[in-house]
Structure 1
Amino acid sequence: MRKYFGTDGIRGEVGKAPITPEFMLKLGWAAGQVFKEQGKKILIGKDTRISGYMFESALESGIVAAGADVRLVGPMPTPAIAYLTRTFRASAGIVISASHNPYTDNGIKFFSAEGGKISDEIEERIEYYLEQPMEVVQSEYIGRAKRIEDAAGRYIEYCKGTFPIGRQLTGLKIVVDCADGATYHVAPRVFSELGADVISVGVNPDGLNINEVSGATKPELLRKNVLAEGADLGIALDGDGDRLILVDAKGNVRDGDDILYIIANHLMNTGRFNGGVVGTLMSNFGLELAFSENGIGFSRAKVGDRYVNEKLVQHGWSLGGEPSGHIVCRDITTTGDGIVAALQVLRAMIEEKKTLEQLLEGLVKFPQKLKNVRVAARFSPAEEPSLQKAIAHANERLNGLGRVLLRASGTEPLIRVMVEGRDQKMVDELVDVLVAEVEAVAKEKAQAIS
């Protein structure tokens, strides 16, 4: 069992262990010990939350104290760090971000030299060094730190390079919502330089407003702007740029399942499809049925883009993602990238001469409802008899025409309750019953602690 790493790095509230300057100093040193064996250079990027400056300095100090060099790229999307880690031949990349969480949280994500998430074994080695006394190398071996000034331009050109030469976005009006996060200075430029008429929102970060009223987790502002501007499409990214949610011209919000359906079908129609698609336990059953009807294989992974990536590698497939908007196009990049995924949807629209709504014809989703229950003490629903009994009862009522999923979040103190079925009224009712059961267990756990 790892002490600090969750499903997507290390994350928590700023100022509370382990998200403190002292811990970040030691984490930088531990990472330096592990990665300097593969090469001395480690990249550090961050999103726009105010605590990023503090943790950037602490990590830098720890890394150079271990004898490794640092390259600082400033505010950049998470997938940009994966790309730059590869192109600079660094031994690792570090992203200071809490993704879609509020500014009061922060976290750390690691990328390997190949641009993928680091393995469980590497995480365990870092945790091993976190428990060791911190010793600074001799002065002549202390690492050096430099800033990469052209990082944004490099990533912009990379993203544009994933769009076919000769294709342009001319004639399309697009609203781009950057959640006042790390894509604020790159995403609008990518789409405008490819020819689109771009209206930008969420591009004025102040360190405190990341994910506050806009972005992939709050698409209502994007929806209003799409309708007000008469835009062809709305693109919402989250705070660190690895999630994508779309809004069509009629104001309908389209999630990661919709995006997977569009990209997979376009690849199939153009003879470029490879194998099948990986979704997660949260993917809508309607997506699985639609793929089956179209002759597209489908496999479910645990929730988390790292698990999607692992299953893609296992199957030798290239496309996967989550309803939350993490879309992985492994034939193009190594991790979830909101800008790159949006470009693949735009390519489908242009080459098939269809609107977003038309591209989604044939996908009929089951009614699905998700509620999050915040808990004081984390626990596994699978280990609670009362919850297992409630799940069994819910499944009986669904009678094989739906799904129930209760799981603990890997990044927040939440229990996620999801029910899917053909009847919306029953889905709503079952979610409420299960939420009440989870709240009762959570209350007992909290009382036991106090």
Structure 2
Amino acid sequence: MGRLFGTDGVRGLANSDLTADLALRLAVAAARVLTADSKKERSVAVVGRDPRASGEMLQAAVTAGLTSAGVDVLDVGVLPTPAVAYLTGKFDACLGVMISASHNPMPDNGIKIFAAGGHKLDDTVEAAIEAALHGDTGESLPVGAAIGRVRPVTDAAELYVTHLRTALSAPLDGLTVVVDCANGAASVVGPLAYRAAGANVIAIHADPDGLNINDGCGSTHLANLQKAVVEHGAHLGLAHDGDADRCLAVDENGAVIDGDAIMAVLAVAMNEAGELVDNTLVATVMSNLGLHIAMRSAGIEVVTASVGDRYVLEELRAGGYSLGGEQSGHVVLPDFGTTGDGVLTGLRLLARMAQSGSSASELAAIMTTLPQVLINVKVGDKAAVASSDSVVSAVADAERILGEDGRVLLRPSGTEQLVRVMVEATDLAVAQKLADSLAETVASV
């Protein structure tokens, strides 16, 4: 059997790959592993979800699994993933569970599990949970008063919004923002948080019905947001994904500001305020070379992590750094959260605008995105192909041609028999020519 956990929890087609039975057994296994060393008389878990229809079924199964293992459940309802992580720490819970498939389409769903403090699980803990799921522990389940109880947390959204306000460096009075909530978990708390900070908020795609999450909207479909920003004459547009751990932006002219540019803006702001630990930003190997150039000009170091916000988090923890993220819009501010937080990111970007008096386009101009060509090549053995002599030689030749004006990245896919060929250059035609040539070499191995 393949590994159950992916790069961000357990995910699949709801009621097919990800069944209620699997969710229940996974919850029991997680409870046993994550409460094993607890000294508490009663172990507690925080459980939340995004609004997709299958979340109701899966939350019921997860809750049944946790309570059957003797864990009390605090039901926080529909909230963003970072809110569940925050509340896991605030309530001193042994674990937290978020039921969401993030930016995936509605038929999919997923189960993200947090350890105490709201931290994502490392590989060893995930392996222990999988072992507990598949093994026969021989442990009996509790009975009587030892069975877990369920309590709804009616003020969960307010607690989260209050927490977000502590991260603001300036009020947002006078700023108008269009917020695309992706018909997802941010549909209530997103507009609530921006309004509480003083902004004039125009919310779009904020009417979830369980079936319309991420449907032509949110951080993966920006066209409607771009149009709305221009039509309303707004200062900024913000787009979240289904569980609101991502944020992408649109400037006052309708131009997209991606995660790299957002990180560049926030890094400079934090550096000026003395908040950027060791003058260092953590990005991933997929961040555009333009980010590295912009940060070098600003006197900021860039530490590079593997793709995935969990690896960004690992680098942040290891170095004690204060800002990291991904091109996709996962931005992590460890002083205020243990995971990517889209609403927090939006608030900080708006605060920079308010504080500096600069428009979104002026702030984003700090970084010039270099042309990037990405080609996915199907192969028989991705590891062998990526390390073959002919491919290594071809990469070296391309790097010599580019010099300091570009870069090459060959990366085996984490889930498929693919090698991803990426080339960046100051000239798109050069990037395309080199990428095509490298892709041919990869395919021929």
Q: TM-score, normalised by structure 2?
A: 0.91
Partner of 2:4: 4
Change (3 A) 1:257 1:113: same
Contact 1:380 1:408 (C-alpha < 8 Å) held by counterparts: no
Query: Does 1:94 find its partner at 2:106?
Result: no
Partner of 1:222: 225
Partner of 1:14: 14
Deviation at 1:429, TM superposition (A): 3.8
Q: Deviations over 1:333-388 (max 9, x none)?
A: 22110111111111211111111121233322221133567x7xx97633326987
Contact 1:381 1:406 (C-alpha < 8 Å) held by counterparts: no
Contact 1:65 1:143 (C-alpha < 8 Å) held by counterparts: yes
Change (3 A) 1:430 1:22: farther
- Which AA in structure 2 matches 1:396? D
Partner of 1:30: 29
| CA distance in structure 2 between the partners assigned to 1:57 and 1:189 by the alignment | 27
Change (3 A) 1:137 1:318: same
| CA distance in structure 2 between the partners assigned to 1:86 and 1:434 by the alignment | 47
Partner of 2:382: 381
Deviation at 1:178, TM superposition (A): 0.7
Partner of 2:196: 193
Deviation at 1:402, TM superposition (A): 2.4
Q: Deviations over 1:280-315 (max 9, x none)?
A: 010111211221222111110001111111111111
Change (3 A) 1:188 1:384: same
Q: Deviations over 1:410-434 (max 9, x none)?
A: 5788764432122201323444556
Q: Deviations over 1:254-296 (max 9, x none)?
A: 1111011101111122233211010001011121122122211
Contact 2:34 2:115 (C-alpha < 8 Å) held by counterparts: no
| CA distance in structure 1 between the partners assigned to 2:107 and 2:412 by the alignment | 21
Change (3 A) 1:187 1:297: same
Q: Deviations over 1:10-40 (max 9, x none)?
A: 11222333x1111111101101111233251
What are the equivalent positions in structure 2 for 1:245-264 lying under 5 Å apart? 245-264=248-267
Q: Deviations over 1:206-245 (max 9, x none)?
A: 2221111111111111111111111110000111011110
What are the equivalent positions in structure 2 for 1:385-400 lying under 5 Å apart? 389-390=390-391, 392-393=393-394, 396-398=397-399, 399=401, 400=403
Change (3 A) 1:206 1:429: farther
Query: Does 1:150 find its partner at 2:149?
Result: no
Deviation at 1:192, TM superposition (A): 1.4
Q: How many residues align?
A: 435
| CA distance in structure 2 between the partners assigned to 1:337 and 1:226 by the alignment | 22
| CA distance in structure 1 between the partners assigned to 2:65 and 2:407 by the alignment | 47
**SS class of match (2:120):** coil
Change (3 A) 1:248 1:372: farther
Q: Deviations over 1:150-190 (max 9, x none)?
A: 111111111122213xx321211100001111000110111
- Which AA in structure 2 matches 1:7? T
Partner of 2:168: 163
CA RMSD, aligned part only?
A: 2.5
Contact 2:175 2:354 (C-alpha < 8 Å) held by counterparts: no
| CA distance in structure 2 between the partners assigned to 1:312 and 1:231 by the alignment | 34
Change (3 A) 1:104 1:260: same
| CA distance in structure 2 between the partners assigned to 1:159 and 1:262 by the alignment | 19
**SS class of match (1:114):** helix
Change (3 A) 1:125 1:249: same
| CA distance in structure 2 between the partners assigned to 1:283 and 1:58 by the alignment | 38
Query: Does 1:338 find its partner at 2:348?
Result: no
- Which AA in structure 2 matches 1:384? V
| CA distance in structure 2 between the partners assigned to 1:384 and 1:48 by the alignment | 42
Partner of 2:205: 202
Q: Any gaps of 5 or more consecutive residues in structure 2? A: none
Change (3 A) 1:353 1:206: same
| CA distance in structure 2 between the partners assigned to 1:390 and 1:177 by the alignment | 42
| CA distance in structure 2 between the partners assigned to 1:205 and 1:151 by the alignment | 19
| CA distance in structure 2 between the partners assigned to 1:198 and 1:103 by the alignment | 26
What are the equivalent positions in structure 2 for 1:356-371 lying under 5 Å apart? 356-370=360-374
Deviation at 1:99, TM superposition (A): 0.8
Greater alpha carbon shift after TM alignment, 392-401 vs 99-108: 392-401
Deviation at 1:64, TM superposition (A): 1.4
| CA distance in structure 1 between the partners assigned to 2:417 and 2:291 by the alignment | 29
Change (3 A) 1:311 1:257: same
Change (3 A) 1:178 1:435: farther
Partner of 1:53: 56
Partner of 1:76: 79
Change (3 A) 1:414 1:326: farther
Deviation at 1:332, TM superposition (A): 2.0
Deviation at 1:317, TM superposition (A): 1.0
Contact 2:385 2:442 (C-alpha < 8 Å) held by counterparts: no
Q: Any gaps of 5 or more consecutive residues in structure 1? A: 442-450
Contact 1:419 1:427 (C-alpha < 8 Å) held by counterparts: yes
Deviation at 1:104, TM superposition (A): 1.6
Partner of 2:243: 240
**SS class of match (1:246):** strand
| CA distance in structure 2 between the partners assigned to 1:412 and 1:55 by the alignment | 27
- Which AA in structure 2 matches 1:20? T
Partner of 1:446: none
Greater alpha carbon shift after TM alignment, 260-269 vs 395-404: 395-404
Greater alpha carbon shift after TM alignment, 272-281 vs 431-440: 431-440
**SS class of match (1:121):** helix
Change (3 A) 1:104 1:87: same
Query: Does 1:112 find its partner at 2:118?
Result: no
**SS class of match (1:84):** helix
Q: Deviations over 1:396-415 (max 9, x none)?
A: 23523423334355578876
- Which AA in structure 2 matches 1:146? R
| CA distance in structure 1 between the partners assigned to 2:417 and 2:75 by the alignment | 31
Change (3 A) 1:23 1:316: same
- The share of aligned pairs that are identical, in percent, is 43
